[in-house]
């Protein structure tokens, strides 16, 4: 009885409740869709606090913020990333103002685009897992799905920022790391390449997957 | 000794012979004693005799005890059944009352042996006919309501003092509640005859007992154990407050600027500031502001700003006046310059 | 007619020592194609209603002098991002500039109190006026970080002359240094002499008619006498402007801190000191008295500084009774949040400077709603877009 209660308390809403559609354009799309009639009979959960129909909402940004959280302090994590965006802007705008008019178009000024590119560049395709065969543990390269690769990319970016020298603030370090990853440089990209090298070395164990 | 003998004589030794099983064997024997005949005239042999059904003997039903409430006539005189306040009795009340926190899937508990119903105060003695009867009985002791007091406004005008106290109904052993001793006096300040000084003093004396929004002074007394004593004390307080506010002590003449109940521009630094600025570079001997243009307007604006509280409107008014007081070059020069 | 007049004014301006070079600056600017959000008029002296809702650039060569008193962090970031110091010309600043231009300098000083909500642009308005004072050759007494004197000073010293007075020697010296940087030109030009002799101890001896710059330099070199020298400086500035040697513009940001009861410093009796116990407070209260002429006093009041009083942004509440009595009569000037036009000007400016790149009409609506037209909040929201 107690365990039953604890399962019920875990989420206020039963399992058959579906995720909300909070973006305006998605809602408009749904209205024109055939599935609209079926959706009217569904029960929806309310939207989370970071899920807004705002113009400035970005799912990757809110994901990144969620990975940055420490001790449940979402507001400070949000401040950290927003401040990092400002630092990115400061760095890029200074470069933009100092360079020639021909090179100006090459400089990316949108911090969200930089973040997206950085995460995209840091995403690995495969990973090593430990598999036990005949009493021996082998590191076997396996392909990973997009969710896992995004998790690893964001985690590596944050780790790389935290590992840097502590003379300046974390948001500045994160900004530098993101810009470097955007340009396919930096610690995160190095880490990815090292992983690939290891995968290449353990190529012969690949059949242990089955 | 005799006991011992007795026990010895009846001593029983178990032997195997004594344990002969006495078991009756009931075999199902065909019933040959049936007299029934079938359609061809043969007797019917019942190999498995049908069981004779036992006729159930019904016990004589015991009459259930029904309460007095079942026998009550519908048109009975209720105030005679429940004449005064008392604890709930289930068999005197012909109502299907239920009370209590029900278990899941059940209804609330019925009225019999229900402590929840007994705990709460009931008002079964205060039915409308009972009240009506009480009122009828009391009528001979009452005087008629004055016709002139037909509205609430008139009541408050002629009887400005409002006395509040509470009585409490109890079904417990004591009929007294300690809260019933508290007396509250409410008087409108405008109903008291006060001059400027007295009004100022009564407000200072009353302190937070005076409510600015409703203009009412509230005196609450609860120090004495009896209501009568508290009432007397509140009356004394009100009288003392009134007369004390009319009295003017010697020390009241020493009222300084900080004790003022309103902002008086004439006595304040603001006036001195204005006069010294206009007299500059000389130091003014008397603070006469009659010669200063717009000084009167300025006085009004500053007093309003401080007395009525600060808001955008009063600040704006102050600004407009100060603009006139400021030292600007005459407009003429300005216009020629622009040409 | 008007143009002709302007021409005369220009010639007058060119005779001005400071502005000879700024003339060339305007020529330089005219070469570029300026977007419509800017105005070519970089001299606040000529700003009027026609320049409303437009931005003007403080010439880069003047920037270093004008910003000698330091900037708040948020302004520093903006300076980095925008690579220029530009100020929006708003209604209260035009109003104040018109008052300053037409005020009678032979009469006692006029006082202005700038008030408004948090982040509505009071300090920025002071920068505009600072530029005005700089361009009109005024001695500028500018205080912008007064709140830090009472919360985290660099050094505390109980005064040698009066025991109950607290000196902040290093902070005072820093202020003197900045004051000298800001006014070096004018001080050299005006050549103010001391009106009486000063003597503190054996080394510090200034006879009558010695130069004011020497006094300031002495205060910068000898930190322990800095507080006394600021008092003397205030006295001398008042005296000099009374005679007509110089024109003084007093600009004090967060003036209500001088009437706050909240400090983090203990006095000689081991109790938290009041702000009135500091020598610096007394000096700057002295200069805001109206017993001198040939000057202007402009102060701002802000809720963010005073921890005791934060319910309202109105001047009488923030100044308290003492402050009101000290300043009265003053002209209150309200700095409101952005109007619709100003909002769009700023959005265009941010777009021009690439702080934000593309913004739909819905995004603009959202920014309006979130910021409530508050300048600081708008900047804060645009920072990470």
Q: How distant is the Cα of B287 from the closest Cα of chain C, in angstroms? A: 16
Query: How far apart, in whole angstroms, are the C-alpha atoms of residue A11 and residue A15?
Result: 9
What number of helices (H) and strands (E) belong to chain B?
12, 4
Range in B57-66, B136-145, C325-334 with the lowest mean pLDDT: B57-66
Do A120 and A150 fall within a single domain? yes
pTM of this structure: 0.75
Domain with CATH 3.30.160.20 in chain B: 152-248
Which chain C positions have a beta carbon within 8 Å of B306's beta carbon?
316
Cα–Cα distance, B281 to C57 (Å, whole number): 41
Whether residue A102 sits in one domain with residue A28: no
CA distance C190 to C239: 13
Which tokens is B153 given? 């406004």
The phi and psi torsions of B40 (rounded to 5 degrees) equal -90, 0
Cis-peptide into C333, omega within 30 deg: no
Cβ-nearest to C354 among A81, A82, A109: A109
Contacts 24+ apart (CB under 8 A), C192-195: C192/C236, C192/C237, C192/C240, C192/C245, C192/C246, C194/C232, C194/C236, C195/C235, C195/C236, C195/C239, C195/C240
Residue B134: pLDDT band (50, 70, 90) is very high
- How many domains in chain A? 2
Taking phi over 0 as left and psi of -120 to 50 as alpha, with beta for the rest, C329 belongs to beta
Mean pLDDT value of segment B64-73: 84
Q: Class assignment of domain B152-248?
A: alpha beta
> What are the CA-CA distances from residue C364 to residues A62, C35, C148, C344, C361 (Å)?
21, 20, 37, 9, 5
Q: Let me know the angle formed at the C-alpha of B307 by B304 and B310, rounded to the nearest 5 degrees.
A: 75
Place of tokens 């309460």: B67
Taking alpha carbons only, the member of C243, C136, C99, C291 closest to residue B327 is C99
Question: C329 vs B322: CB contact, 8 Å cut-off?
Answer: yes
CA distance C115 to C318: 9
Same domain, A81 and A130: yes
Chain A neighbors of C353, CB-CB under 8 A: 93
- Across chain A, mean pLDDT equals 88
Q: What is the pLDDT of residues B92-130, one digit of tens each?
A: 999 999 998 888 888 889 999 999 999 888 899 999 999
A96 neighbourhood in chain C, CB within 8 Å: 354
Please choose, from the candidates B212, B209, B216, the residue with its C-alpha nearest in 3D space to the C-alpha of residue B190.
B216
Lowest-confidence range among A52-66, B133-147, B317-331, C321-335?
B317-331
The residue length of chain B stands at 339
For residues C131 and C45, give the distance between their C-alpha atoms in angstroms, rounded to a whole number: 9
Find, in chain B, the residue whose alpha carbon is nearest to that of C316. B310
Per-residue pLDDT of A31-40, as tens digits, reads 998 888 888 8
Average pLDDT over residues A177-196: 94
Residue B323: partners with Cβ closer than 8 Å, 6 or more residues away? C331
DSSP annotation of B101:
-
| Pairwise CA distance, residues B8 & A198, whole Å | 103
Q: Which of B270, B281, B315 sits opposite C325 (nearest CB)?
A: B270
Residue with tokens 């409703």: B214
User: Which of C83, C359, C360, C385 has the highest number of chain A CBs within 10 A, making it the mutation to test binding with A?
Assistant: C385
Rounded Cα distance between A148 and C187, Å, is 69
Residue with tokens 């009370």: B99
Return the axis-axis angle of helices B227-246 and B196-206, rounded to nearest 10°: 140
Measured CA to CA, the distance from residue B303 to residue C48 in angstroms comes to 34
Q: What is the mean pLDDT of each run of 10 residues along chain C (385 residues)?
A: 42 39 39 76 89 89 84 85 89 91 88 92 91 91 89 85 83 92 87 85 79 88 88 90 89 91 85 89 91 91 86 91 89 93 92 88 92 93 88
**Residue B20 φ/ψ region, left for φ over 0, alpha for ψ in the -120 to 50 degree band, beta for the rest:** beta
CATH code of the domain in which A181 resides: 1.10.455.10
Is the pLDDT higher at B17 or at C328? C328
Put simply, the answer to whether B302 touches C328 (Cβ < 8 Å) is yes
Residues composing chain C: 385
The domain ranges of chain C are 2-91, 104-117+125-333, 340-382
pLDDT for the residue numbered C16 = 40
- Could you tell me how far CA A77 lies from the centroid of its own chain? 14
Of A55, A86, A94, nearest to C362 by CB-CB distance is A55
* Same domain? A163 vs A198: yes
Judge whether residue A2 has pLDDT over 50: no
Higher pLDDT, B14 or C312: C312
Q: Which of A23, A41, A57 is the last residue of a domain?
A: A57
As a whole number of Å, the end-to-end CA separation of chain C is 48
Mark which of A42, A57, A72 sits at the end of a domain: A57
Q: Cα distance from C385 to chain A (closest Cα, Å)?
A: 7
Residue pair C51/C41 in contact by the 8 Å Cβ criterion: yes
Peptide bond into C208 cis (omega under 30): no
Cα dihedral across residues C264, C268, C273, C276: positive or negative: negative
What is the residue range of A146's domain?
59-209
Task: Tally B–C CB contacts below 8 A.
Answer: 71
């Amino acid at each position: 009885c107690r365990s039953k209660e604890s399962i019920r308390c875990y989420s206020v809403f039963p399992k058959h409740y579906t995720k909300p559609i909070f973006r305006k354009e998605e809602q408009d799309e749904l209205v024109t869709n055939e599935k609209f009639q079926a959706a009217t009979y569904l029960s929806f959960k309310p939207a989370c606090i970071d899920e807004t129909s705002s113009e400035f909402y970005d799912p990757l940004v809110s994901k990144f913020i969620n990975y940055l959280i420490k001790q449940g302090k979402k507001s400070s994590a949000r401040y950290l990333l927003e401040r990092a965006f400002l630092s990115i802007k400061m760095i890029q705008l200074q470069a933009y103002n100092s360079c020639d008019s021909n090179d100006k178009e090459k400089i990316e000024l949108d911090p969200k685009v930089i973040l997206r590119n950085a995460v995209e560049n840091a995403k690995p395709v495969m990973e090593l897992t430990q598999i036990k065969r005949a009493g021996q543990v082998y590191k076997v390269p396996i392909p990973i799905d997009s969710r896992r690769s995004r998790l690893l990319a964001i985690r590596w970016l944050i780790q790389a920022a935290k590992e840097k020298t502590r003379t300046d603030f974390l948001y500045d370090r994160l900004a530098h790391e993101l810009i470097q990853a955007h340009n396919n440089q930096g610690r995160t990209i190095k880490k990815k390449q090292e992983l690939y090298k290891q995968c290449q070395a353990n190529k012969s164990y690949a059949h242990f997957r089955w | 000794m005799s006991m011992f003998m007795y026990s010895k004589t009846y001593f029983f030794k178990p032997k195997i012979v004594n344990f002969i099983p006495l078991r009756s064997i009931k075999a199902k024997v065909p019933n040959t004693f049936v007299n029934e005949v079938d359609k061809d005239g043969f007797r019917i042999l019942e190999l498995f005799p049908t069981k004779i059904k036992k006729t159930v003997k019904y016990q004589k039903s015991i009459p259930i005890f029904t309460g007095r409430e079942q026998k009550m006539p519908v048109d009975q005189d209720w105030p005679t059944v429940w004449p005064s306040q008392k604890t709930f009795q289930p068999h005197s009340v012909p109502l299907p009352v239920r009370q209590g926190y029900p278990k899941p899937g059940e209804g609330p508990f019925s009225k019999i042996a229900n402590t929840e119903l007994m705990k709460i105060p009931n008002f079964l003695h205060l039915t409308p006919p009972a009240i009506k009867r009480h009122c009828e009985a009391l009528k001979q002791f009452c005087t008629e309501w004055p016709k002139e007091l037909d509205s609430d406004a008139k009541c408050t005008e002629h009887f400005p003092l409002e006395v509040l106290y509470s009585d409490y109904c109890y079904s417990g052993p004591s009929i007294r509640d300690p809260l019933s001793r508290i007396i509250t006096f409410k008087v409108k300040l405008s109903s008291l005859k006060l001059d400027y000084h007295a009004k100022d003093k009564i407000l200072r004396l009353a302190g937070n007992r005076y409510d600015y929004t409703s203009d009412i002074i509230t005196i609450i007394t609860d120090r004495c154990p009896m209501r009568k004593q508290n009432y007397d004390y509140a009356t004394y307080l009100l009288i003392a407050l009134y007369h004390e506010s009319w009295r003017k002590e010697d020390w009241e003449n020493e009222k300084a600027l900080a004790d003022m109940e309103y902002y008086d521009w004439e006595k304040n630094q603001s006036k001195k500031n204005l006069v010294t600025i206009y007299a500059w570079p000389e130091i003014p001997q008397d603070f006469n502001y009659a010669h200063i243009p717009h000084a009167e307007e300025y006085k009004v604006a500053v007093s309003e700003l401080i007395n009525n509280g600060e808001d955008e409107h009063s600040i704006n008014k102050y600004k407009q006046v100060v603009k006139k007081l400021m030292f600007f070059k005459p407009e003429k020069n300005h216009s020629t310059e622009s040409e | 007619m008007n143009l002709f007049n302007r021409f005369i004014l220009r010639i007058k301006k060119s005779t001005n020592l400071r502005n000879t070079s700024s003339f060339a600056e305007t020529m330089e600017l005219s070469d570029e194609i300026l977007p419509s959000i800017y105005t070519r008029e970089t001299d606040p002296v000529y700003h009027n209603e026609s320049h409303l809702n437009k931005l003007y650039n403080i010439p880069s060569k003047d920037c270093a002098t004008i910003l000698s008193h330091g900037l708040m962090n948020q302004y520093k970031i903006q300076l980095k991002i925008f690579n220029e110091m530009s100020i929006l010309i708003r209604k209260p600043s035009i109003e104040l500039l018109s008052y300053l231009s037409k005020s009678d300098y032979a009469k006692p000083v006029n006082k202005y109190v700038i008030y408004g909500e948090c982040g509505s642009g009071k300090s920025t308005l002071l920068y505009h006026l600072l530029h005005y004072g700089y361009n009109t050759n005024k001695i500028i007494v500018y205080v912008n970080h007064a709140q830090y004197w009472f919360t985290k000073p660099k050094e505390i010293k109980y005064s040698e002359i009066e025991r109950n007075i607290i000196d902040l020697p290093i902070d005072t010296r820093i202020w003197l240094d900045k004051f000298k940087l800001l006014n070096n030109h004018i001080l050299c030009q005006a050549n103010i002499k001391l009106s009486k002799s000063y003597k503190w101890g054996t080394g510090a001896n200034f006879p009558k008619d010695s130069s004011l710059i020497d006094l300031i330099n002495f205060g910068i070199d000898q930190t322990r006498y800095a507080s006394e020298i600021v008092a003397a400086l205030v006295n001398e500035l008042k005296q000099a402007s009374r005679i007509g040697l110089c024109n003084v513009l007093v600009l004090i940001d967060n003036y209500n801190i001088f009437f706050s009861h909240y400090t983090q410093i203990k006095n000689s009796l081991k109790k938290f000191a009041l702000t009135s116990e500091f020598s610096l407070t007394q000096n700057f209260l002295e200069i805001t008295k109206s017993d001198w002429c040939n000057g202007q006093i402009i102060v701002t009041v802000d809720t963010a500084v005073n921890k005791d009083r934060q319910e309202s942004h109105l001047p009488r509440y923030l100044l308290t009774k003492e402050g009101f009595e000290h300043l009265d009569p003053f002209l209150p000037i309200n700095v409101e949040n952005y109007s619709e036009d100003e909002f769009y000007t700023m959005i265009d400016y941010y777009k021009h400077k690439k702080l934000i790149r593309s913004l739909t009409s819905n995004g603009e609506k959202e920014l309006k709603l979130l910021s409530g037209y508050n300048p600081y909040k708008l900047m804060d929201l645009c920072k990470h877009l």
